[in-house]
Structure 1
Amino acid sequence: MANPNAPDPRFDGRILAYDPEAIRTALSSYYTALSKLPYIEESDVIHPPSGGWPNITTSNFSPLGKDEVVIQLLKQLPYLRNPSKEKGYAISFGTFAIDYSAAPFTEPLDVKGAKDLSSDLYWPEENIRSWVVPLTISEDNVWGTWWLLDTTDGTVTEWAHNDSTEPEEVYEPEDPRAWRNTCGETRVLEELLTEWRAKFESLHWVAFSDPTGREKVWNDEDFPRDRDTEQCEQLQKIIRDHGWPNDFRRRECKEALWAWDEEHQDDSF
């Protein structure tokens, strides 16, 4: 396990420390912020009972090979529950939050289903370490990102099936954090979610679910401009016309977005 007091070359030598309460707060704040938008329902942001999620125990999660620090963290995290969608809610482009309180992690744990949520880093020596756990899963093998949380320092590191992530500053081979050398950037979770939240609240990113429960996420930052950019701007206008952010009529806005979506069913995204 990495020494949490060792300077991190990916953070200009900063010394980072694991703070489970900060992780819980960051996720809860982010999920709550998304529920204010015309997307995630507030009732789908779920919090653990006083004793933590009862299915998340050392014995039930033993097939996953995670250490006790990971188990205790997952036991106390908030989650997003969307039973109508196989992978739950997207919280960034093609990137879905994993709900460890639900199937396939309910007791008894579905070993095959749970292992399907373990990202395969190609070689056995690159397997996810016992103190590292995925917070998100990609949409498929091309689109989306796994964010892997390291409980030694509270950072998350991106990894994608399509090799689109490029390693940053590398760790020495003997450094237990060297597993990150096969991945992309490493971020402090709170800082990453703060950036994402600002994108959504400013409507540079737009997300909502259509009546079938499909997640749709656009952004207005593509260059050069294309039809997707123009359609994102149409969605921004609908949301602002319904009072965002100060006098937001959320239900009316969702209905207007569904109507827009119906009109554009034949468009190619």
Structure 2
Amino acid sequence: MPYDRDAIARRLTEYYELLVGMAYLDPSVIQRPPPQGWSDDQLAVDVLRKMNRSDEAIDLLRHIPYIRQDPKDEKWEIYPETRPISYLRDGWLLRGKTAESCAGKRLHHLNMMPFDAEYPAGMISLTFGRDATFWVVDTDAGQMFPVGLYVIDDTAPESQPWRRNAKGVDILEYFDSVHSDLLNLKLVPAPRSGYWVPRVVPGEQPPEGTLVSRLLKEHGWPDNFQRAEYLEAVKNLRQEVIDESLNALNRS
């Protein structure tokens, strides 16, 4: 499919709304752009231009939602080991940054790309993390490169390291796929439980993923979801099963 800014913004919004619907994200943390898009005062446009991002890439970032990243907020995962990047000036990675302070740096130096390389101007990542899947969007090609930890093509050009760890896929099809993974509990978002922070895990991964998946089903997911009862159950049980699993490992 050809690149479609508004369709990408809708898909990302729908993905975040699904995480809200699964009793994971609080709806208040979704920051939605104004109709005209984020302004230069809100979006770190000067930094993005210093990083040689194209007008089209910046335009995409003007029109997508972000997850609020105040100091008091959870450091939400939106995919396994993967956190969202906020390109707003108060986002985790850009807070206090200016064009001058970023002079001579690449996106990788700000944790905004998986490899230390020169990325085409139309490329931008929506996610980051030490063991993350970077959702690298190529606005010129209309493709998503979900760049993970593992090499899948060791013949990729050295100048394009992202191709070693990901195949380019249609952006909207990728969002459809990860949306389906959540809806069908292939991936499950686990809310905070005691000192265990919220994160997204495979639904068949014991003990955490299997517990959350079971509790979602027991509480009517997706057609008759009993949100409050589910939240009470998962918050009471998730810490317990993780701690028991770790204690068992320590005893073995």
Does the alignment reach a TM-score above 0.5?
yes
Select 2:110's aligned residue among 91, 101, 116: 116
Structure 1: gaps spanning 5 or more residues: 1-15, 222-227
User: Any residues of structure 2 matched to 1:92-111 within 5 Å, and which?
Assistant: 92-101=79-88, 102-103=90-91, 104-105=93-94, 109=98, 111=101
| Shift in CA distance, 231/48, structure 1 to aligned 2, threshold 3 Å | closer
- Unmatched runs of 5 consecutive residues or more in structure 2: none
**Counterpart of 1:100 in 2: which secondary structure?**
coil
- 1:106, 1:82 → 2: CA distance? 10
Q: Contact between 1:87 and 1:96, CA under 8 Å: does it hold in 2? A: no
Q: 1:39 aligns with which of 24, 33, 45?
A: 24
Letter of the 1:64 counterpart: M
What is the match of residue 157 of structure 1? 145
Counterpart-to-counterpart distance in 2, 1:23 and 1:169: 30
CA apart distance, 1:46: 1.8
TM-score scaled by structure 1? 0.74
Q: How does 1:215-254 map to 2 (within 5 A)?
A: 215-221=198-204, 228-229=205-206, 231-254=208-231
Matched, 1:210 2:192: yes
Pairing partner for 1:89 from 63, 67, 76: 76
Instruction: After superposition, give the CA deviation of every residue in 1:244-263 in whole Å (9 maximum; x if it has no partner).
Output: 21221212211211101231
SS in structure 2 of the partner of residue 256 of structure 1: helix
| Percent identical residues | 20
Assess, with a 3 A threshold, how the Cα gap between structure 1 residues 167 and 241 changes in structure 2: closer, same or farther.
same
Matched, 1:185 2:167: yes
| Aligned residue type for 1:131 | G
Match of 2:55 in 1: 68
Mark the CA change 1:241 to 1:151 in structure 2 (over 3 Å): closer, same or farther: same
SS at match of 2:206: helix
Measure, in 1, the Cα distance between the counterparts of 2:211 and 2:146. Answer: 31
Pairwise CA distance, 1:134: 0.8
SS in 1 for 2:86: coil
Shift of 1:167: 2.6
Correspondence for 2:38: 53
CA distance in 1, matches of 2:36, 2:76: 25
What root-mean-square deviation, in Å, do the aligned CA atoms of Structure 1 and Structure 2 show?
A: 3.1
Kindly provide the amino acid, as one letter, of the partner of residue 27 in structure 1: L
Which of 28, 41, 64 is matched with 2:13 structurally? 28
Match of 2:121 in 1: 130
Name the amino acid aligned to 2:144: V
| CA distance, structure 1, for counterparts of residue 127 and residue 160 of structure 2 | 21
Corresponding residue SS for 2:200: strand
CA distance in 2, matches of 1:220, 1:209: 14
Give me the whole-angstrom Cα distance separating, in 2, the residues matched to 1:168 and 1:51: 43
Preserved CA contact (<8 Å) 2:211 2:238: no
Say if 2:11 and 2:172, in contact at 8 Å, map to a contact too. Answer: yes
**Counterpart code for 2:118:** N
TM-score of the superposition, structure 2-length normalised?
A: 0.79
Matched residue type, 2:200: V
Check 1:182–1:231 CA distance in 2 against 1; reply closer, same or farther (3 A cut).
closer
Give deviations 1:203-258, integer Å, cap 9, x for gaps.
2221122145712333245xxxxxx4355333222222222212212122112111
